Amino acid sequence: MKEHVGCGCFPTGRHYPGIAHLLRVHARGIVPELDGDAEWEKLLIAVLDTETTGREAQTDRIVEIGIVIGVGGEIVKRVNWLVNPGIPIPDGAREIHGISDDDVKDSPTFAQIAPEIAAALQGTVPAAYNAPFDRAFVAAELTRSGLALDSFPSCLRSEVQWLDPLVWARELQKYEKGKKLGDVAGRLGIALENAHRASDDAEAALRVLYALARDPRVPRGYAALVQEQRRLARGQEEDFRAWRSRNPRP
């Protein structure tokens, strides 16, 4: 959402185009140093994916993190780290991603690779498929590491909204069955051969985001995209709560 600084009666650039450049406009949720009016596809988009020991960010740990960066619809960087979580990997988690204790026993901790992660994310727009999950794990690991948060790129600030292809898939493919990454990617003709491995999932999610962006309902501007995604996500959450109230757990 864009908010004009000043009183509500102040003229806008829409009404007085000649003074548009004089008006200060603040766009909520965007990376501070990036231009909210820029076409988001022309910005560096960094999709993160994490594989973990479980689903609870406060008690479970990351065992693998992948970052895939694209611009203009093309992949320009792909990085991946196995991470020693410091706790055993439960069988249930290992059965999903295939990563065992032996695989990570000689890997660095999250705190040790955090500077590399920060460097990879510098100047990017953060994104993830089902972003609240990955974002919560990254935030918990950063807090747990004791590292100074001001040493990390501004895209990791709490007020910055991550792009989320899942929100757009739920809207643009609302009548299709299955919204998991593999389901959505398959409908769009995007290959995902190594599902539940971090960089493979991240790359598929980025390609899904670019593919969904061909729909005319997806805004072109970065700030407009963030604003519309926030609106859609809010509506989807309200619909889910209404569904849960009609279908309580036994």
Mean pLDDT of 224-249: 91
What integer best gives the mean pLDDT of the chain? 90
* Residue 26, pLDDT score: 54
Q: What is the pLDDT of residues 47-83, one digit of tens each?
A: 999 999 999 999 999 999 999 999 999 999 999 999 9
Residue type, 179: K
Q: Where are the domains of the chain?
A: 1-30, 37-246
Q: State the Rg of the chain over Cα.
A: 20
Distance CA 139, CA 219 (A): 28
Q: If one looks up domain 37-246 in CATH, what number appears?
A: 3.30.420.10
Q: Confidence class of residue 187 from pLDDT cuts 50, 70 and 90?
A: very high
The residue among 74, 81, 104, 99 whose CA lies nearest residue 199 is 81
CA 145 to chain centre: 21
Higher-pLDDT residue of 210 and 193 is: 210
The pair of structure tokens assigned to 112 is 């040790």
